[in-house]
Structure 1
């Protein structure tokens, strides 16, 4: 438009006078000369198709097409704007029915109309209407649009790639942090070993694999002798040193395929799969030999020796279920400690050809009670209280001796499922979240699962699973109500509630 404005300005200055733009206008010779000038401009200018000069009433004063002179057209909006002194433009077409259909012979399809007002003394004398082939301009616009789209597309792709890399890096970092967080829930904070729940879960998995493949699994339950005395005399930091030293030596002596975890406050559980079960007992002896050279000194104390007691058993020789093997190892450990400590005891072999279901459950139950004590001292004391209160209530109800024996066992084992509750939740020194409480509630189902393979314990299982049911049906896990709750569970629930309210 700037080029056409300059062209019009040149015509005005060189070829037009003020009288040429007012009616009645110049004579025929002057008109012919002006129109020849316009025709020459159209012929010489690339893309210029037609020029019209409109008077204020819409009459065509001059044109490169002589036949248009004197014609009067309706003043459209764009021409009206130009007659007000404002330049304007419009896009039309040479297609049939288009405003510029008579220019179709020029080969142009789209035509740009430019309206350029001619003013003098603040008054519009005429309006130059310039027709130009819009094809090159539209092609240039299209190319510019494509270039912009290409740039935007490239930028969007680059941005998308950058965002993907950023989010990918963030996701990898989050995945790593999640894995580390999940792993931390399976690890003991002090020793870095598997914690109680994780080592028991690993033992259960290895036993499942061994049953399927026919292999053996070895267990060694290792207890630091006189650990409580060490803690009470020299403080918990001294106990922590002993734990980390024993853990490090035991890990070094065990086969690489063996699993090691902290089973209790001063106990470790080593689990050896079939590939290295033969090396479990020798590894324990190597550890004990190294402990001979280990002594600890705190402040001005004498150098204190560190010894351990160990109970060892093996699947399937000494049992098949996780709880049975842990119980056998615990009983063997108790025997080692009872002999004065610094000793290793193997679990006794099952006698003759008796099947597992026919073996006495006494050692297993004793081992489970000890396992509860290892997991949490409060749970042990609480369980003893519940058993005592349950027996008191049963006596007042004049229940038979068989039910009294059942209540005693159920009372001692009613919280045995807490063995599987993560330490961070079980010992949390603050209120539990809803998610944590939901996990704690599963201890009754875990307890039921733990004792289900022991013989003649149907009523005990009912007490373990149902001692958190409520008379109104709003308890857990099964939502039992009223007399639908087994009698053993109802008695345990009373003892459990009383103990919880009176024990700190």
Structure 2
């Protein structure tokens, strides 16, 4: 009888433990935002407030980093809610990799994440935010802006959120893709003068390259608008088109001005220009997204390009646009070693390499623009 009673008590304790575990799992599930994989707003506020109170009791500093996805509304409008959810999840995943175990990370808005960092000062919070911005500039799929606020000993979450939000707004107004912090005004969007100066330097280095860039800008802008990209994206793509060959300033004249075809060794040197171009542009505040487009300006849609062998949607859309427009202008321009192609033949070449070298959507948009602009050439081509 005693043995049976003990067995029943053990079973009851086991059942209670299982119920408690299931309840804890359920509560944890309800506290997590399913899209971002971080705490929901309510759960974040509860955990963040507790963390701030703990820092206050210990006399430690604390900081809050507020992160906002640049152009999120336009991304949802252009590619749908699924793309927005994927971008949010990607940013949250990157941020989770950067924060510490005791930090509190949550989703505080449709395109906004926040992390409370107990024990962290301004420098520590800024380091996390700047690494996040840099990583996303290089890897995508989106860029972010961040605002930092530091607790002055009050332990009040609402005050920190308000301060960080105001600083974040200044970062967004300055052009996005940057970090704002107390006592530090975010750098403004690079002036047209800075971009123009780089373009002038390229033109002075090689007049033909500069003129070619201007033609690519016109084509790339037209294609971007046909793909219904927003104004900010069109401007960035135009900048990438203007500066896509900026790395050639470091290429020796013997290669850059060679009248004939390049040999394998010379091509190896020439292929470095996209990486060099990226390094040059990353030195200009706010040009990170443009630098990324320039780096990948010779990636082919099927993965056979360089420098990283990206394929399909892994390649920034701006890079895919510039590649096709660059190729078309090159084909229809006279070179010392060959005559210029007709527009009809160049269009045929674009279509032949659609899906291999070029993005089919980009080719369709570019051909559509060219046909609308000069229908006579297209009619001659189809008649032939």
TM range (shorter): 0.3 to 0.5
Question: What is the TM-score when the length of structure 1 is the normalising length?
Answer: 0.35
Larger RCO (CA under 8 A, 6+ residues apart): 2
Kindly indicate which of the two structures has a greater share of residues assigned to strand.
Answer: 1
Question: What is the TM-score when the length of structure 2 is the normalising length?
Answer: 0.45
Larger radius of gyration: 1
